[in-house]
Structure 1
């Protein structure tokens, strides 16, 4: 027997849908024309629904998925944030971040199975709504990215923790370049747990309802039922492209100064015996140089700080620490020049010609970077 539930806070035009049936609550991000970008109302609605389902014994597992054919989620609604930032409402923008980070944290500590369908594009805030769950499902269509440095911001939604703990410095590469990771990459980097065929997702929901719904109220039984369903649909992954390039990416990103990363990439581009590697190294250097110099330097320092303690840190503690640091960085970056300019160039005017200030990484001092980690105008975020 199925029971329909409605959102506790109505997001505009049914932007997010909730349905509880046979023991499984399904969250559908429902803005397909905007690739399911997360509005503030959606963020609050998801957090409230998760809290309600946590207390509901009839709901034993949660699934999150995206409407449409393109993917789970393109990230946060940064065009709305641009309007706030450029009209002196940075504190209002920070309210969005605080609610989003509370949602990300709730997912990371959720006591029931949280099954995320990371199909298609999973960008920025889409990582936050999926990659902290207990069961991260990727497909042959998965393209995961943290594109924040291209808009003068830094990887957030707890994504900096995932990037910092990724093996062989590959998270640094993704964070600085905004490059996409495939489903196979995600398994190797710690962003995903199991790869399935994208055509199997509806069948997985049906099987979860059949098996989780009859698993009883025990949380361990629900987790075991989810594990069993996903194991039946698991497919071997193809070669992970990022791992194939780790031989030259790892030493290049071992440096803690962006200038040294550039030097290493440019040396590889000039001297490597493999022409394909020379081309990819040159492209990586060119890509990072096109990003916001301030955001690139702040991001590398953020990952360095988290990386120093990521090895022995579990998901709950690690995600909370990352979100608290990201909140501090957001407090500074939303009031700086580059975030408003980056969103303008990429998503408002779409001229793809941001005028960064400072214009080069060499002009961004260590003191300026360090200041982003000090107290901002907003009260610190406290999640632990």
Structure 2
């Protein structure tokens, strides 16, 4: 089979023979994938290297976690909170909340309400907060502004529309960390369930230059309240305030099935039926827009990571990929709902889906500013680690 792969203009598409990794289910739908003489992809080797470097064996792992927790508690003395956690209601963030409670930390939980939360997501978040006794800060964005940004990204034909949500979440986390003098942000990112994710499928979330450029070109209203991180704030938060991100799940024995059983039992958590399906938009984006327009099935990345961590077999993953990514009736219902909420006609949406993909970089990035600041910081004592 011959497939065409390129994130650029169709005239630049190159033909490449289809190939799937012999260890994972990653394939040439990732345009940057490479294979060795045995058909094993770079993703498999990169996972092994990351696991070897970052996933400590016992008892070193427990000792490292004890040290981190002790540092957080010591730093948090006299403060209302000693850390921040993001809470989407999904498996990873819910299990992080559960572990944080078990460790005796005092987090401020942050939830992002962009107007697309499912009823189940609301139930899960409320149940988690009630049972764990955490304070919750909910970001409720202005819907008209957020809708205008999402439409801008759709019209721009770039692949990572989730930047619109992720940028606002990180901007708010940074602001809250500054407001409450919190130095640690604990996230659900982890190696064993989500390490593999091709760079061609995503875009840096904190590049406000790119976001602003896309909105300036395709937006119709002014962004007055949308949380943002202009480059000078990026420098402030990531450098001068020394915020420390912690991937807590890399310091515990994190098994997806076991975690689901625990949070279901302890926190009355209910399953969404898919990764990131707590958001109706993310469900539609990942299960329809990405595969239909960009040829990207994110299940391949998620399943490949689980294969590498030994949580499922390659045969199980292949069987999962044989099933439809979207139930036909569910897709019909969700499409109608999404278009109505966005204010798009079926024809307008069809035209967007037919438009060829455009790389984010086409609209400008903050890389030039990063290079300038890196050169400056190389001459500034004590700040060189900012851009390592």
Q: Same fold, TM exceeding 0.5?
A: no
Tell me the TM-score normalized by structure 2.
Answer: 0.24
Larger relative contact order (Cα-Cα within 8 Å, sequence gap ≥ 6): 2
Tell me the TM-score normalized by structure 1.
Answer: 0.24
